[in-house]
Amino acid sequence: MLIRDETRQETLVPSAARTTIDSVDVSERTVLLRVDFNVPMSEGEITDDSRIRAAIPTIRSILDRGGSCVLMSHLGRPSGTGFEPAFTLSPAASRLAELLGRPVSLPSGDCVDEASIEAVNSIEPGGVILLENLRFHKAEKDGDAEFAGRLAAYGDLYCQDAFGAAHRADASMVAVPEAMEGRPRTAGRLLEAELRYLSGAIDSPERPFVAVLGGAKISDKLATIRHLAGRVDTLVVGGAMAFTLLRAMGHGTGRSLVEESMIDEARGIIDAVEATSTTLLLPVDFVCASAPSDGVDTTVAGRDIDDGLMGLDIGPASIDAFGAAIRDARTVVWNGPMGLFEIPPFDRGTLAVAKAMIDATADGATSVVGGGDTAAAVNDLGLATGFTHVSTGGGASLRMLEGGPMPGVDALDPA
């Protein structure tokens, strides 16, 4: 029998019980809606519109009930000194109009100038306005109250649906809802789903509960590992971050990516996990090559890798072990690829984990995929529909797994 560490059952994440947009009257009211249209771009074209599509249910809910929408978003990392063509939200407005089948206005290159104010003041029920990139103002990242007050004037109520930015304390995430005290401050459908699945997976999982962590750097996942130790039944660690752990255990890692400055910390992490009821499952073999290149010769090595080689994916024995643990689970959360999935054949480990999770889901398990590279991987592999939930937020989903603060959630009205 697995004995749980009952002293470590405090809530990891903010409560999902927030007032929702569907619970308030929006008829003939203007909803100031924070969305996450920070979409990947190439030469002015959107290469993945998943985040725009994810906002559609909330927008339609508002419009179908007689409301109007004023949308706010950021895109990329402009300088914060004014309009920059490379970071305009104009392509997002055009794509949103196509998806909604109705006009979407982008009134100005400045989200708080007279043209934007006039457009919002003239909006009719059923209208949709997308304000220009919030980060054209440095005040957005600074959480500036005066800037937030100007944005807050646009709405009769506030709706937060930008889960991907909910771990940040930007003006539109925190200062705007603070400025709208006394007006409803609600969660959109996307945010509601993200909180429900991530909170549910961590706070009240059906067991066995397996967490799968990957990616390049152990330093990015230290807090996550510490929080999950003693809470999950099995902690699976793959990706390049595994090499720092293996080096700490005394294994040779060849030319694989290792965070040399984190080796002592990695040893401490291993000891901390092993002191709990959690089983730590590390790779036992790797697909190796002399360089991370397409078409390069590959070989399979055990935990000790020759000096001239680098591990670029988990190997077949690791795939079998990871897959068995995942298929036996009733709850699985996954954040981080198993290898250099962008370059075949180093995508096989990530694909195998995805397929094992899909198998578990088909058998009734709850499967939650973290955003960022992990969501990109399952989307690239055409497998996103096989999971219970694929998060839209990389840093935000990781923050929830860490048990860290979520300012954009805390700013909303409790249910």
Pairing of strands 185-187, 331-335: unpaired
Range with the lowest mean pLDDT among 3-17, 153-167, 171-185, 202-216? 3-17
- Dist. CA 212–CA 333, nearest whole Å: 6
The residue whose two tokens read 């949103």 is 96
Q: What is the pLDDT of residue 16?
A: 56
Answer yes or no: CATH 3.40.50.1260 is held by domain 205-402: yes
* Cβ burial, residue 169 (10 Å; 0-12/13-18/19+): middle
Longest Cα separation, the chain? 68
Confidence tier at 207 by pLDDT (50, 70, 90): very high
Query: Residue 1 above 80 pLDDT?
Result: no
pLDDT digits (tens, 9 = 90+) for 103-151: 999 999 999 999 999 999 999 999 999 999 999 999 999 999 999 999 9
Assign 241 to helix, strand or coil: helix
335 phi and psi angles, rounded to 5 deg: -140, 110
The residue whose two tokens read 């990695």 is 266
CB 245 within 8 A of CB 266: yes
Residues annotated catalytic, as ranges: 51, 217, 372, 395
Can you name the CATH fold of 21-190?
A: Rossmann fold (3.40.50)
Query: Residue 8 above 80 pLDDT?
Result: no
Of 33 and 5, more confident:
33
Rounded-to-5 percentages of helix, strand, coil across the chain = 40, 15, 45
Q: What is the pLDDT of residue 374?
A: 87
Assign 298 to helix, strand or coil: coil
- Dist. CA 21–CA 11, nearest whole Å: 25
Read off the pLDDT of each residue in 251-256 and give the average, rounded to a whole number. Answer: 97
Q: What is the pLDDT of residue 104?
A: 98
Confidence tier at 14 by pLDDT (50, 70, 90): very low
288 phi and psi angles, rounded to 5 deg: -120, 155
pLDDT digits (tens, 9 = 90+) for 60-76: 999 999 999 999 999 99
Confidence tier at 232 by pLDDT (50, 70, 90): very high
Find residue 314's DSSP bridge partners: 286
Tokens representing residue 245 in the block: 């752990």
Single pTM value for the model: 0.87
Range with the lowest mean pLDDT among 27-36, 167-176, 314-323, 392-401? 392-401
pLDDT digits (tens, 9 = 90+) for 332-385: 999 999 999 999 999 999 999 999 999 999 999 999 998 788 888 888 888 888
CB-CB neighbours of 226 under 10 Å: 15
* Cβ burial, residue 359 (10 Å; 0-12/13-18/19+): middle
CB 385 within 8 A of CB 406: no
Find residue 159's DSSP bridge partners: 33, 186
Q: Measured on CA atoms in the order 267, 272, 275, 278, is the torsion positive or negative? A: negative
Average per-residue pLDDT for the chain: 93
Assign 269 to helix, strand or coil: helix
pLDDT digits (tens, 9 = 90+) for 256-271: 999 999 999 999 999 9
CATH 3.40.50.1260 domain locations along the chain: 21-190, 205-402
Find residue 367's DSSP bridge partners: 332
Read off the pLDDT of each residue in 210-229 and give the average, rounded to a whole number. Answer: 93
Q: What is the pLDDT of residue 13?
A: 40
C-alpha distance from residue 22 to each of 62, 68, 82, 89, 407 (Å): 8, 14, 35, 27, 22
Which residue from 228, 171, 200, 151 is spatially nearest to 402, judged by alpha carbons? 228
- Dist. CA 309–CA 290, nearest whole Å: 5
Q: What is the pLDDT of residue 4?
A: 30
Range with the lowest mean pLDDT among 23-37, 281-295, 389-403? 389-403
N-term to C-term CA, the chain: 38
Which residue from 352, 290, 359, 289 is spatially nearest to 318, judged by alpha carbons? 352
Confidence tier at 5 by pLDDT (50, 70, 90): very low
Query: Residue 6 above 50 pLDDT?
Result: no
Q: What is the pLDDT of residue 377?
A: 84
